[in-house]
Structures are given as structure tokens and as C-alpha cells.
Structure 1
Amino acid sequence: SSPSSSSSSSTATLSFGPAPLRPAEAVSFSLSQPSSSSACSPSSSSLFPSPFPPILVPSTSPASSGHSGGWRDQPHHLSKEELWIQIRSEAKAAAKAEPALASFMYATVLSHTSFERTMSFLLANKLGSPTMLSTQLMQLFRQVYDEDPGITDAARADLHAVRDRDPACESFAQAVLNFKGYQAIQSYRIAHALWSRGRKALALALQSRISEVFHVDIHPAARLGRGILIDHATGVVIGQTAVVGDNVSMLHHVTLGGSGRSRGIRHPCVGNGALLGAGVTVLGPVSVGAGSKIGAGSVVVHDLPCFCVAVGVPARIVKRNLNSEPVRDMDQCCDFILDYVI
């Protein structure tokens, strides 16, 4: 059964393991200017530890090209404290407008003292089961948030990404409480923190439950940047050695799948600011360059350069040198048909 805010700290006493959580290893993605004159080249940043491949980066600097160099706060973005105040305000307004939701809003948002407490309560109740009780999960999730502030920072970036890029999102509270893509990413981030601390059995158990509840299967060893949007989310699969940069947007039924049976790198690496349309499949240890757009239903089996448009089975490049990141307008139709004549 779902825990109440007043009794959660006293009733949730079961620990899932003796190992204390330390701040999880930071995942950083560089878009620094490379020395190569080619359209894209691998970043040499030491922030990308082996065995994970580097993100492809553009040959021009983000400042001069108008492209984002990974996640950066924008002037309209709220701080963590401002965001929490806004979520509470939106929850109060929703409860007043729809009395049937008043108890839900109180239990999930208004009875809690912080964004982290709300997320712990919400995700624990979503993922709880007869064998992993929601009270136990809530204690675990609180511990992860307390020990690793970077997870909250990433959650804030993801929330702004949803609000900025999804026209169906009318409020922050709506995304937090109702958008399963956002909830699945935050659940993954907790599982990834546990995996990074060596608690792999628990991380895999959470992955299994996340897949059952949200229909999103992200291996806890995969690496996701900040400002991630998974719209609709159903059927998304991201494999163990996959790497996803900052500001990436993808829709339902996207697969970042492996190829082969080797235990090395066998999944894709997606650069900052890329847009993967509905049903896109990227297979094997290939690189999708920063700022690229892949059309719905395409299958990618070869590297793609930065700021290109690719479509088809197998995907082929139909346009190069995009003028802006595709995630800025989320347009999944333009650039694919360049010369259409009846």
C-alpha cells in the first residue's frame, strides 16, 4: 500500500543493502571545438571515461554556430527552489479546479517539503510491488536523492526540457505527475546511481519494474545526459553500453540497440541535441552526430555526421549542415522531402 507523508520515515525501516550511497559518477558531455576541419570529429575530452565512446561534436564552436554546447540553463529557466514553488502553486490550482484530484495533489505534492521528497513518494508508489514495498522504495529513493544532488539537477533539466519542447505540456506539475517519459527517466537515474555504486542486483530489479510500469526499458549502465525528453515513451529501449548526450529528444518506440555478442561497446552513441523520431532504430556501436535529425521509422546502422538529416531503411543522409538544433522546434516533417512534385 502507498505510504503517507506523515508515517513514511517511521515505517520504512528495511534497507536494501549495506553499501552507503556516495555521489554518483558525473556524466559529462563535451561539445568543445575539435582540431579537425571535418564536419564532425570525436571529442577528446577526458570526461568520457573508457569504455564509453566520445560524443561527436561540431567543428564550429557552439557560440558561433548558434548550437547548444550541451545542457545550459536559459534565462527563463527556474532554480530548484523556484521550480518547487511553481510546482506547489500549480498543484494547489489543480486541486482547486478539480476537487476529485485534491487528495492526490495533497498526498503527492502539497504534503511534502521538497521536490526530492515528492519524486521519492511518486516514483515509489508507481514502482512498488508486493515484493518491493513502496515504503521501502521511498526510503531508498530518498537516500539516493540526499546522497547525490546531481540527480536532482538532472531532473530539473529534464523537466525544463519537457516544458520547453512538448507543446502538450501546460505546466511543470503536469509533467511530473502525469508524463511517464519523465517519470521513467527519473527512475532510470536512480537505478543508474545504484549501478554506479556496485548495487547491480537492485539496479536491475528496478530496471525490470520500470519496464513493467512505464513500458520503457533503459539499462541502468547506460549513460544519459541532461535535458532529455522522451515523448509518449511507450516502447523505448536503450541498451547497456548506449550513451545519450544532453538535450536529446526522442519519441515512442525508439530503440538504441546492440549488435553482436561481444562484451565491449555494442550500442549507439547519440550526440547532444539530436532528435530521434517515432520508431527510429539505431543498431550497433554507431555514432549519431550532435544536432542530427532522424526521421520516423528509420533504421541507422552507420555513423551519421553532426547537424544532418537522415531518413529511410537503411537511413541515408538527405540534408547536411542544419542551421539549428532540431530539438529547438521538434519538427519531424520538414527537411525530409526536398523536391516534391506531383
Structure 2
Amino acid sequence: MTETSDLGAHAFNDPAALWREIQVAALEASRSQPLLADFYRYALLDHSDFASALAVVIAETLSSTHISYASALAEIRAVFAENPLIVESALDDLRVLLQEDAAIPEPFTPLLYFSGYRALQCHRVSHVWWATAKKSMASYLQFRCSCTFSVDIHPAACVGKGIFIDHGAGIVIGETAVVEDGVTIFQGVTLGGTGKLDGDRHPKIRRNAFLGANAVVLGNIEIGEGARIGAGAIVTKRVAAGVTVVGLPASAR
């Protein structure tokens, strides 16, 4: 993650400019890959803004043999209308990925192809439903995400913005977990409990912390701002801000 995307710097802080960059890239891609032209038109080129395309992404996950795509799309659009922060947070997540992930070939890649990014945006909707007494809808969307992306985020978990999720597969985030802005989460991370059946029982991950692949953080403990948890570490005790821990059990380095 030492390189940056070729996306124009002006676009990162301007949603309209970023959306234009995405559509330009999609048009070029559809011309160079004609077999995907209809897909790019459906997913990106026929939309007036990022929110419209994002609604389709989430509706595709929500829809099933039991919920029609049209009904799902209408429901997601209604959630967006009442909760604009969902779209703003999704844009922040996208900006972080475009700035930090050298493996992204096009500015639309996370929106269309990254399971972690897509699952996180679905979580934002399920979180709203959980908080507004639509728990059955929230649980259904969580289930669909788990089946589709192998990412299991409880609808009640609080997740900030500007989140960098790399790969995504196998991530589990428990009910009372908190993930603040700017956190990096690699595949296989678990933010779990220790067997307690009620109360506040999951980790609190503070701003700009880093969770390496397959790291396991258990219990109502704090991972401080800017702390780094090494790949495969098992953490059951508080980690102070800025500290790096590795190993089984995790210890400071």
C-alpha cells in the first residue's frame, strides 16, 4: 500500500468529481471489454450519481427469491433519503481505498468487486434498521451479507467512516463492538466476545488502528488510537494508543 491511485487528486474531496471519474473509467472499460458493456451500463453508466449506483449494490444483496429486486431497491433508496450519512461514509471508505490500495485498477473497482467494501455498505443499512426497530430486516440483510461475502457484521455494531477493509473474507464483528474512523481491517479478523451472554462484551477499536490478517480481539477491551495488531495475534487485554502487538498471546513490540 505504498502507491496511490491515478485518480485526479481533486476528485477525492468532491463527490461529483469522483463520480465523473468513475463514469469516465466505466465508459473506457466498456469500450475495451465489450462483453462487460451491459454490466457497466447497468451498474454505473445509467446512474446520475454515486448514491444511485450504491443503492443498486445493496439492493442486489438484499433481494432474493423472497424479496424482489424492485422492492429491495425502493427500500434502500428510502433509507438513503432519511440517512444521507450512509452515502457520505461509503464515499469516505472509497476514497481511502483509492488512495491507499495500489492493487485497484479502476476507481469503480471497490464498488463493483470488493466483498469487504460491499458488505460494509450493507452493514450501514442494517445498522439503521436495527436502531429503528426493524430488527428482522436488519438480521435478514446481515444473513444475506454473510452468505454472499463471508463477512459477518452484527447490525448493532458501530462502525465509523474511512474504513479500509482489504479482501474482507472471514471478518466477524460482534454486536457491541465499536470500530472508529480510519481503521484498517484485513481478512479473517474477529472482534468477538469471551462467552459473556449480555452487556457490553466486544472490543472498541479506536481511530486509525490497524488489525492484521486473522487477528483475534476478544472481550470488552480497547485497542488504542493508531495501535497495530499483527497478523494472527490473539488479543485479550487493552492495547495502548500507538503500540504494536504480535503473537500468541499478543505482546508489545
Q: TM-score range by the shorter chain?
A: over 0.9
Q: Structure 1 CA distance, aligned partners of 2:108 and 2:37?
A: 14
Partner of 2:249: 314
CA–CA separation in structure 1 for the residues paired with 2:62 and 2:35: 23
Query: What are the equivalent positions in structure 2 for 1:283-298 lying under 5 Å apart?
Result: 283-298=218-233
**1:102 alignment partner AA:** A
2-structure distance, mates of 1:174, 1:103? 16
Written as runs of structure 1 = structure 2, the 5 A alignment for 1:4-19 is none
CA distance in 2, matches of 1:180, 1:202: 21
Q: Which of the two has higher C-alpha Rg?
A: 1
1:176 corresponds to which of 86, 111, 114: 111
- Measure the CA separation in 1 of the matches of 2:96 and 2:152: 20
Structure 1 residues 66-77: aligned runs within 5 Å: 77=12
User: Normalising to structure 2: TM-score of the pair?
Assistant: 0.93
**1:245-270 C-alpha deviation (Å, 9 max, x unpaired):** 11001111000001233421100000
- Mapped to 2, the partners of 1:127 and 1:298 lie a distance apart of 34
Give how far 1:138 is off: 0.8
The match for 1:138 is 73
CA offsets 1:65-123 (integer angstroms, 9 cap, x no match) = xxxxxxxxx97623221121111111111101111110000011111222111111122
Q: Superposition pairs for residues 127-276 of structure 1, below 5 Å?
A: 127-276=62-211
Amino acid at match of 1:277: G
The percent of aligned pairs where both chains have the same amino acid is 38
User: Any conservation in 2 of the 1:226–1:245 contact (CA below 8 Å)?
Assistant: yes
- Supply the distance in 1 between the matched residues of 2:13 and 2:47 (Cα, whole angstroms): 19
Q: Which amino acid aligns with 1:91?
A: A
Say whether the 8 Å CA contact 1:191–1:203 is kept in structure 2. yes
Higher relative contact order (CA 8 A, sep 6+): 1
Counterpart code for 2:237: H
Provide the rounded CA distance (Å) in 1 between the counterparts of 2:207 and 2:234. Answer: 19
Match in the other structure for 2:21: 86
Per-residue CA deviation, residues 162-191 of structure 1 (Å, 9 max, x unaligned), is: 112211112221111111111011000011
Unpaired runs of 5+ residues, structure 1, are 1-73, 319-342
Across the two proteins, how many residue pairs are aligned to each other?
Answer: 245
Which segments of 5 or more consecutive residues in structure 2 lack a partner in the other structure? 1-8
**Hey, what's the Cα distance between the residues in 2 that align with 1:211 and 1:262?**
22
Deviation at 1:287, TM superposition (A): 0.5
How far apart in 2 are the matches of 1:221 and 1:75?
35
* Counterpart residue identity of residue 222, structure 1: A
- Tell me which protein shows more helix as a share of its residues: 2
**SS of 1:172 mapped into structure 2:** coil
Moved more, 216-225 or 105-114: 105-114
Query: Aligned-pair distance for 1:128?
Result: 2.0
> 2:165 corresponds to which letter in structure 1?
I
1:10-159 equivalences in 2 (<5 Å):
77-159=12-94
Partner of 2:172, secondary structure, is strand
Query: Could you tell which deviates more after superposition, 209-218 or 120-129?
Result: 120-129
Query: Take 2:184 and 2:116, find their aligned partners in 1: how far apart are those partners?
Result: 11
Determine if contact 1:308/1:317 at 8 Å carries over to the other structure: yes
